[in-house]
Chains A and B, each alone.
Chain A
């Protein structure tokens, strides 16, 4: 058993490691029924409140964004698409000049914007439009009022949540340098504000700090990073961001992810150990949260205990979710599909999975549907393209995108997270028609 942890976390979760860490993984290739990384814009533009996301792409990209956002965003959103047209491709218009024109118009319209992301798409990458150079050029023009950055959210480079990874990785070089080696904690990955605030209180009670978050609520207010920075990943899909932080001297605190009572405790404990927090203080600071989480979960355990569950790949949250559902709610994962499996970041999670669960990386959607129909799980976690067709076949589904959009991390959301899985089953029981 090889766990990629550092010595200080080995007595926690790693000690009881038994499960899936060494099980072989089925790698599939075929049709992938997943979103591209552009979709991350839907939550990132809400999170970073002075940033604007300009996709440089096609009508398809614009259509995806509005379909994924459900068309129903009230204010004028802080994202848009610069749609590449025939004349840009035919060389009748210089794509870079066109982009400058569009960006200038946009910045005039939205003087409140402090940071503009040029987001690369499949077509912009295939025609090799260099957005990082464009960003540099435009930054020179619009600084100090607007900083322009770029990242790729294209489907050929990124799968769904990897768009957030690419966005955060693009922010890392912009973070100010922390002088000296004084220790600070950086929590990485977009979280709902309510969750951030809960974690701030918990870390304060533990005496772990100062605590900063990436992304920050304002792009103009990025946290500092340096040799003393220790970071916890709040999401499992941030491989590129983690590498970029490490390149700036920060060190990763390996841990399970803060889903459920057990995951949250393990995640907090990993940081507490780095800070040398005493067991007594740890217990004191977390006891109330743990108790509340356990009580909230007990309600849902009645519904979920013993139920089988099948995951189609979606957000890379599948492994931590399966761990939470199996260990804290008694569910039985049959297949855990994930678009990409980062063995190192998921080491603590894999160790806790039941050995019977089948791990599948990548996708061949038709074959996976065959397996799902064969297994007839009590619950299937899948994207919106598959959910209604499977419901029509009599399977109970949980649509997975909600798991990315909802606050699910931490003690006080553990019950809500379980509720997201319980509701479809409860509903099926209730309906008499």
Chain B
């Protein structure tokens, strides 16, 4: 048993729902007890969908367990077909129905429905949401991809074609990422045959074979499918996730190579602003800001690269809850000289953030909580999602516009450069009192930034030294304290005095 306070991912059948809901003409019949229908509200409330997810639940109760739950399932499947007339049906079980072993796939087969029925086996006690989404997408594509073929080279006269794989319902900015990347591919002279699962019908899946290669936007969802299509239809696929300026440029080069095109122009066509904004002098204050990054693997790895290469931050922590991508995240962490945190235990992530004392947290909605509790600025970079992650405006994460959005999103929670300096210079002035919040964020000045994250060091602080420490602006105080304590520890100093603070300052200043 695993003790969980919050979870990063839902059960695998929720992943399957994300695929079914993203597509058109698919209906999912789920053998599940009463109450599991809560998952509908993720789509109607968090994502504000205007339609119910295309899911029929059997919602059995205790009294049904004594009777015939298999019959209940068959009735639900029959009724669902009659009412919704889908092009294809998915059938499966949630965690509880898995235990009663009714075999939805086998039962559905006996119904002889006039449409393809794809059975899903999603082991709920081993796997989680993203795995469930990946598996469901793979099963659907397998069912509709058609017979195997070897690729013949593209005729030079025909424009190169690709599919976009991975966007789902309830994804983090998938809607806008698809729009941005479609625009990017089109600008490169590449035709998009099918985007799936988002917006695709089962019939569309039969046309996947018309593409020369596949663009994998979200490896957590689409890598398994892309691997299958490579083996089955000889379609290669992209490995770079185009989040950030550098990654978008790499992605364009990779795509051009797969498409047999000459190296593309990757200057962003005049609307890319991140590189200049990052060079602008007011961004000086971003230098070396300590950031902690946590999310799904693809977003976390991309965020680390942006933080390091494009904003000049210092990556002090990098982690993911996507265990399936442990190898990738460890490789990335090594690049920044940190140890990867691979965990789906929210409490462990919290402990790690508290210990590392970052100046900015880039995480999920969970880390937003942790950061709020610790009084650290935070921006959200990855699912699990919240209603705020579906902005009304166009706000992709991918491509050049995505990089612009990311610059704004990450810099916004921080104290603005000039303001930070004013606070430093005029900290004795009551208007610039300790704990003043960034003026553009509008919330009431917080009380003394919570003391919680400052973990008692081994050395004790003399009264005068404590008083001196309080004169240091609060947003660098944690760092000063940490450095001083580390300095004291390394030298075996038991009591920290005012002198120790300044010795440490001199030691650490570069």
Contact = CB atoms under 8 A, between A and B. Distances in A.
Most buried by B among A36, A56, A68: A36
Given A60-B10, A71-B386, A389 B4 contact: no
B41 A77 contact: no
A302 B49 CA distance: 32
Contacts of B35: 34-39, 64, 122, 154-155, 159
Nearest to B49: A388
Contacts of B79: 366
Nearest to B346: A76
A63 B44 contact: no
Nearest to A153: B35
B125 interface: yes
B37 to A, nearest CB: 5
B33 A156 contact: yes
B96 A31 contact: no
B404 interface: no
Contacts of A392: 50-51
Contacts of A37: 35
Contacts of A126: 65, 96, 99-100
Nearest to B48: A388
A98 B3 CA distance: 10
B33 A83 contact: no
B60 interface: yes
A76 B83 CA distance: 44
B149 to A, nearest CB: 38
Interface in A68-91: 68, 71-72, 74, 76-77, 80-86, 88-89
Interface stretch (A264-272, A280-288, A316-324, A379-387): A379-387
A59 B95 contact: yes
Contact of A59 (B51, B59, B128): B128
B36 interface: yes
A19 interface: no
B120 to A, nearest CB: 15
Interface stretch (A9-17, A99-107, A167-175, A216-224): A99-107
Most buried by A among B61, B65, B94, B96: B96
Contacts of A383: 41
Contacts of A366: 79, 83
B34 A62 contact: no
A38 B100 CA distance: 21
Nearest to A124: B96
Nearest to B56: A31
Contacts of B128: 59
Contacts of A81: 3-4, 7
Nearest to A60: B11
Nearest to B387: A70
B477 interface: no
A389 B65 CA distance: 32
Contacts of A122: 33, 35, 95-96
B125 A86 contact: yes
A327 interface: no
Interface in A87-136: 88-89, 93, 95, 98-99, 101-102, 105-106, 122-123, 125-127
B125 A89 contact: yes
B39 to A, nearest CB: 8
A273 interface: no
B87 interface: no
Contacts of A101: 1
B124 A58 contact: yes
B44 A83 contact: no
Contact of B62 (A58, A106, A156): A156
Contacts of B373: 74
Nearest to A388: B44
B58 interface: yes
B110 to A, nearest CB: 21
Nearest to B53: A385
A183 interface: no
B37 A31 contact: yes
Question: Which secondary structure dominates where chain A touches chain B?
Answer: helix
B1 A98 contact: yes
Interface in A347-391: 366, 383-389
A167 to B, nearest CB: 16
A33 interface: yes
Interface string B55-92: 01111111001000000000010010001000000000
Nearest to B350: A76
Interface string A385-410: 11111001000000000000000000
A77 B5 contact: yes
A86 B123 CA distance: 9
Nearest to B94: A60
B225 interface: no
B45 A63 contact: no
Contact of B52 (A34, A35, A125, A386): A386
A80 B123 contact: no
B33 A36 contact: yes
A151 to B, nearest CB: 15
Interface in B1-48: 1-7, 9-11, 13-14, 33-42, 44-45, 48
A66 B44 contact: no
A83 B96 contact: no
A229 B4 CA distance: 40
B95 A123 contact: yes
Interface string A13-46: 0000000000000000001111111110000000
B38 A31 contact: no
A67 interface: yes
Given A83-B2, A88-B1, A386-B52, A32 B59 contact: yes
A196 interface: no
B507 interface: no
B10 A63 contact: yes
A74 B369 contact: yes
Contacts of A305: none
Given A59-B128, A85-B126, A95-B1, A156 B37 contact: no
Contact of B44 (A36, A82, A154, A384): A384
A238 to B, nearest CB: 19
A227 interface: no
A3 to B, nearest CB: 29
Contact of B34 (A80, A102, A159): A159
B235 interface: no
Nearest to B60: A156
B69 to A, nearest CB: 10
Given A67-B10, A389-B49, 20 more contacts: A32-B34, A33-B37, A34-B37, A36-B33, A60-B96, A71-B6, A82-B1, A83-B1, A85-B1, A85-B126, A88-B125, A98-B1, A102-B3, A123-B95, A155-B96, A156-B96, A385-B52, A389-B44, A389-B51, A392-B51
Interface of B: 1-7, 9-11, 13-14, 33-42, 44-45, 48-52, 56-62, 65, 76, 79, 83, 94-96, 99-100, 123-126, 128, 365-366, 369, 372-373, 384, 386
17 contacts: A32-B59, A33-B40, A35-B38, A58-B95, A60-B10, A64-B36, A71-B6, A71-B384, A72-B369, A81-B7, A82-B1, A82-B2, A83-B1, A154-B33, A156-B65, A384-B44, A388-B48
Interface of A: 31-39, 56, 58-60, 62-64, 66-68, 71-72, 74, 76-77, 80-86, 88-89, 93, 95, 98-99, 101-102, 105-106, 122-123, 125-127, 154-157, 159, 366, 383-389, 392
